Chains A and B, each alone.
Chain A
Amino acid sequence: MAPLFELCLRMGDSTLILGQRLSEWCGHAPVLEEDIALANVALDLIGQTQMWLGLAGEVEGQGRDADALAFRRDAGAFRNLLLVERPNGDFGHTIMRQFLFDAWHLPMLRALAGSSEPRVAAIAQKAEREVAYHLERSAGLVIRLGDGTGESRARMQAALDALWPWAGEMFAGDGVDAALAAGEIAPDPARLRPAWDGTVDAVLAEATLARPAGSFFHRGGRAGRHTEHLGHLLAEMQFLQRAYPGAAW
């Protein structure tokens, strides 16, 4: 498959699945301000999905639009990071997952903003402003909840420990990444690691949380090998399009 198409799916599927996960919180957050903020981030991510998957369909040239790609592919065709399909867990899990993702997403978009492919650069430039805010917010919450009460620190450390093995995939490139990097369309994923490490270490230190020692990580999202959770998420998300094929909404 064309590397540019793959890049658009990798970006758009991650924003879609994370946006979908965040929208599960609607009406159930610990305080009203968080209901609003989580919805706001979800909304940005769904908007970015429309752009990435829209471009994917355009690049593919087979008449699939963003909705066809979002609602009528099965799990094996999804290219999102495994991290974003992890279930929400408690509020601490959701925020930690968001932080680990945002700390990668922002430098990724900054690199893509200089892409040799102008349509990629245009989306990245627009998304970058939104994601800078996402990172500011998730980092702030990790700090406040880490350095809050004894219970909140324990919950945040547990979330970090549980999610850590799902983060390393962000920096593990494959042949598609090599082709994209060679064409200066996207960065080599490993190049984003120092920026991510810098952000994560600084925030964890202020949050009084310990960076997990392990270096093992799960991978497979970019190749379409997902966890059990994605199929359930898609079953719910795609229900109407699957149950009433051909209907317009």
Chain B
Amino acid sequence: MYAQMVRSTGTLKSRAEMTPEEAAFQDRIDRGERIEPQDWMPEGYRRTLIRQIGQHAHSEVVGQLPEGNWITRAPTLERKAILIAKVQDEAGHGLYLYAAAETLGVSRDALIEDLLAGRMKYSSIFNYPTLTWADIGAIGWLVDGAAIMNQVPLQRTSYGPYARAMVRICKEESFHQRQGYAIMMKMARGTPEQREMAQDALNRFWFPALMMFGPSDRDSVHSAQSMAWRIKINSNDELRQKFVDQTVPQAEFLGLTIPDPELRWNEAKGGYDFSEPDWAEFHEVLRGNGPCNADRMAARRKAWDEGAWVREALAAHAAKRAARPVAAE
């Protein structure tokens, strides 16, 4: 997941307004064909995908930070190993996604510069702090759970490299979600203090997790073109509803309470009714005013700036190697 409010470039055109090339392209999408890097594509499609895949990649990279915050304090050797492996997977997801974006003609470094300059975003969820060990469970359970909900359909997205990256990522994400739930289970069935941490983590992460699907459909202005291009498959509200319906019984099983007094089963619609998140808060977080925005960006800038000498040295060494006669190797 992790692509929220990606602005589509270009307004939705009717058939009559399309050039013959655009119409042929739309026909391919409508037939369910995959678009590959060498194929013709509208500039708007290319630019929207770069933004979406780039935002997704940045989210994986920034997403290492809230979990990394607990690696050095993980409570057992096994939990430490699992968390390191998970954060390592996330860095790997970042790599596949940057590679998918590169097929659209943009370099990884250029995307990173855009992130660091504030021209590109990452998911709002990673601007919330991880305050206790239970938050690591809540992130796996709720955040990875929400990500899976969004990413499973993206395995069928129209752009081949993105769809294939999603297939690999989804496999690993479902493992992450199970690990997160396992942590929650231990905490929810542990000492009174652990139960309290588990409930507190759910209280703090519930609404931010619902925000991950993006604004309500009635306010989501960017979806129509992306849906026509099959860059986006389901609407924000559809996915949010599915997530709530899946998650409520899991919380009940843990003996935890979803922090929403309006939550109740609606027999007629066959799903839960629930409160919307505070959208004013969501927009503030996107504007940079979440509790951790400044810290997250500072950490990424520091890593990038302090790593410059390493990247330069590796490039310089590679150039020296390339310049040497083969026989000298």
Contact = CB atoms under 8 A, between A and B. Distances in A.
Interface of A: 16, 20, 23-24, 26-36, 39-40, 42-43, 46-47, 49-50, 53, 66-67, 70-71, 90-92, 143-145, 147-149, 151-152, 155, 236-237, 239-241, 244, 246-249
B259 interface: no
24 contacts: A16-B77, A26-B71, A27-B65, A27-B87, A29-B307, A31-B307, A31-B314, A32-B61, A32-B91, A35-B64, A36-B88, A39-B88, A42-B84, A43-B81, A43-B88, A46-B84, A91-B307, A92-B310, A145-B313, A145-B317, A148-B316, A237-B72, A248-B190, A249-B76
Given A28-B299, A247-B191, A33 B95 contact: yes
Contacts of B294: none
Contact of A237 (B73, B98, B303, B320): B73
Contacts of B306: 30, 90-91
B80 interface: yes
Contacts of A40: 88
Name the residue in B190, B311, B313 with the highest tally of chain A Cβ atoms < 10 Å from its Cβ. B313
Nearest to A67: B76
B193 interface: yes
Tell me what chain B mostly uses at the interface: helix, strand, loop, or mixed. helix
A246 B190 CA distance: 10
Interface of B: 61, 64-65, 68, 71-81, 84-85, 87-88, 91-92, 94-95, 98, 133, 183, 186, 190-191, 193-194, 299, 302-304, 306-314, 316-318, 320
A26 B71 CA distance: 8
A247 B94 CA distance: 35
A246 B318 CA distance: 53
Nearest to A239: B73
Given A151-B313, A237-B73, A26 B68 contact: yes
Contacts of A239: 73
Choose among A39, A46, A244 the residue with the greatest number of B CB atoms under 10 Å from its CB.
A39
Nearest to B95: A32
A155 B309 contact: yes
A23 B191 CA distance: 28
Contacts of A91: 306-307, 310
B191 A149 contact: no
Contacts of A28: 68, 299, 302-303
A4 B81 CA distance: 26
Contacts of A23: 71-72, 80, 84
Contacts of A30: 303-304, 306-308, 310-311
B314 A145 contact: yes
A27 B84 contact: no
B80 A247 contact: no
Given A31-B314, A247-B191, 8 more contacts: A26-B87, A36-B88, A36-B95, A145-B313, A151-B312, A241-B76, A248-B186, A249-B76
A42 B168 CA distance: 23
Contact of B317 (A31, A90, A144, A246): A144
A246 B191 contact: yes
A66 B306 CA distance: 36
B86 to A, nearest CB: 10
A98 to B, nearest CB: 14
Contacts of B64: 26-27, 35
Nearest to A243: B193
Contact of A46 (B77, B87, B95): B77
A211 B67 CA distance: 39
Nearest to A155: B309
B316 A149 contact: yes
A49 B75 CA distance: 15
A71 B75 contact: yes
A27 B314 contact: no
A160 to B, nearest CB: 15
B310 A31 contact: yes
B313 A152 contact: yes
B312 A149 contact: yes
Which of A27, A32, A92, A151 neighbours the largest number of chain B CB atoms within 10 Å of its CB? A27
A41 to B, nearest CB: 10
A145 B308 CA distance: 12
B320 to A, nearest CB: 7
Contacts of A236: 72-73
Contacts of A47: 81
Contacts of B307: 29-31, 34, 91
Nearest to B308: A30
- By Cβ-Cβ distance, the 8 closest A-B pairs, closest first, are A30-B307, A148-B313, A152-B313, A27-B64, A39-B88, A249-B75, A30-B310, A26-B68
